[in-house]
Amino acid sequence: MLLSVNTFISLDGVMQGPGAPDEDRSDGFDRGGWLVPHASAHTNDVVESWFRAADAFLFGRTSFDLLGGYWPKVTEPDDLIATKLNTLPKYVVSSTLSDEEADWSPTTVLRGELVDEIRRLKELPGMELQVHGSWKLVQTLHQAGLVDLYRLLQFPVVVGAGKRLFPDGSTPATFTTVDENARVLPGGVVSLTLKPASLGAISAGAYTVDEGRSATVLG
């Protein structure tokens, strides 16, 4: 399976607490719910398209608890997101969560060496192993070069504080855009699908003047 990271971000890259004021108040975060005024049928269509590609889910402990406290309550049979989350295999990374506590069935708790565990899961048949939320886990996956695809909905708001998708100290990387999925939705939300092209370095260049003409020099 491909491993995809699917997330909502602000213009300043924040992914913390998009859905409600009390969603994630860690580190004193008090700006939760910033996504909701910008949500629409258009953003929902994009998110549903993400979930159509899912064959399994991978979560950190916090996101597992949060989503597992919400989506099992959504019993509408035509709700694609609820159906996928409530029926497909889920894997949660935790050293403290017991099997009995992981009662959002079917769920497997991953307690071994994380990178090895994820590589094993990626070898399973299926389309995608999807990560939603799970900020700390995403950092680990990025650093290890395990992410095959990033799907982002970027909302027209600067949150000004909070957990960023790529915080200071992240491993440098370059990406290519899956062009057919890049678009601006009504209301200014940007939908992007990115594939990592290189990890550990970024290319650079400079603008220069050559015989009176502005030019670029790479390398």
Give residue 47's pLDDT: 97
As a whole-number percent, the residues of the chain with pLDDT over 90 amount to 94
Give residue 63's pLDDT: 96
Mean pLDDT of the chain: 95
Q: Report the C-alpha gap between 88 and 67 in whole angstroms.
A: 14
Q: What token pair was written down for 131?
A: 């990560």
> Architecture of domain 2-218 in CATH?
3-Layer(aba) Sandwich (3.40)
Q: Using an 8 Å Cβ cutoff, are 127 and 53 in contact?
A: yes
Give residue 161's pLDDT: 98
List all residues 6 or more positions away from 22 whose beta carbon is below 8 Å from its beta carbon: 32
Closest among 108, 123, 18, 126 to 58, alpha carbons compared: 108
DSSP state string for 121-183: HHTSSSSEEEEES-HHHHHHHHHTT---EEEEEE-S----SS-BSS-TTPPPEEEEE-GGG-E
Give residue 196's pLDDT: 95
180 pLDDT above the threshold of 80: no
Q: Report the C-alpha gap between 68 and 65 in whole angstroms.
A: 5
Average pLDDT over residues 105-118: 95
The string of pLDDT tens digits covering residues 47-94 is 999 999 999 999 999 999 999 999 999 999 999 999 999 999 999 999
pLDDT band at 153 (very low <50, low <70, confident <90, very high): very high
162 pLDDT above the threshold of 80: yes
Using the 8-state DSSP alphabet, how is residue 185 labeled?
P
Of 128-137, 174-183, 194-203, least confident by mean pLDDT is 174-183
Does pTM top 0.75 for this prediction?
yes
Q: Which residue carries 């939760």 as its tokens?
A: 32
For residue 191, give the H/E element and its range.
strand 190-199
List all residues 6 or more positions away from 173 whose beta carbon is below 8 Å from its beta carbon: 142, 196, 197, 198, 199, 200, 202
**DSSP β-ladder status, 213-218 and 128-132:** unpaired
pLDDT band at 46 (very low <50, low <70, confident <90, very high): very high
List all residues 6 or more positions away from 204 whose beta carbon is below 8 Å from its beta carbon: 218, 219
Give residue 183's pLDDT: 93
pLDDT band at 127 (very low <50, low <70, confident <90, very high): very high
Give residue 203's pLDDT: 87
Per domain, the residue ranges of the chain are 2-218
Give residue 11's pLDDT: 98
Give residue 219's pLDDT: 76
The string of pLDDT tens digits covering residues 26-35 is 999 999 999 9
In this structure, the chain runs to a length of 219
